[in-house]
Structure 1
Amino acid sequence: MGGHRSGLERSCLHLQISTMSAHNPASVEGALARLAAVIESRKTVNGGDPDKSYVARLLHKGPDAFLKKIGEEATEVVMAAKDVDHGADKGKLLYEVADLWFHSMIALSHYGLTPADVVAELERREGTSGLEEKALRKAQARAAQEGHSE
């Protein structure tokens, strides 16, 4: 059998990993950290070749290229979610969210950030009402604007 798996075996393995990840936050963070490491390795300064790597090509083209992809993928997430509302397979939504996360991780890498930074921000927000947090941001923006107008 060696290292080759049939399509069914790969699907079952993927299902096992997906199920395990849903119940084990450490495996989710590990998967994101591994993907972040691959993205980091594709940077030109780390030997990434834009002729051989999609990530290296996007990074080489600069922020406009990967930010455009993030916008496109976000739109595709919205469209897939609307399709699910009308009975479409949820798998398409997962696929599009994965693309959005992937391209967002390219942006994070470009700006020197990691998935762990995002997790830390989410943890910081944990237990805070979204409405309270939004009101606090508005108050801070108002205070900053008043400070500049003096």
Structure 2
Amino acid sequence: MKSPLTRSIPFWILLVASVGLAAAGAILISQHLGTMTKTLGDGSATGLEVYGGQSWIVVGAALVGAGALGVLLTLALAAASALIPTTAGAAAAAPATAVADGAAVLGLSDPEGALDAPATAQEIAPDGAEAAQADSEAAQDDAAEPADAVSAR
């Protein structure tokens, strides 16, 4: 059984980049440390080789540390992935089953697919809106009625 993590491109990018950083840092450290040791030993060391070399060694150490941290993170992801059991069939069927079970637990059912249907005009403007329109028309009729009553007197 293959883990989904082994097919994950970001996982492999993290692993390769981490190992690359650690290797680059180790090469940087060994080159500058070797130069410093040689020049200090034979007395021909300059300030650039001594002080610049120390700075490059610190940069190399940071790269080695970042690479080591990335490798540890990769190992932690692999261990966590191994703890989570997954199978291809169960993983694909689980979301649909969970939604159906959740609807059954809540007492919700949609036998005709009404939840998937688009809203009708009556659902958007229910009868309450029509009643409000009828009320405003009745108010206009009442406002016109006293004027007729006054002229009839």
TM-score above 0.5, yes or no: no
Q: Which has the higher contact order (CA 8 A, sep 6+)?
A: 2
Under a length normalisation based on structure 2, what TM-score does the superposition of the two structures give?
0.28
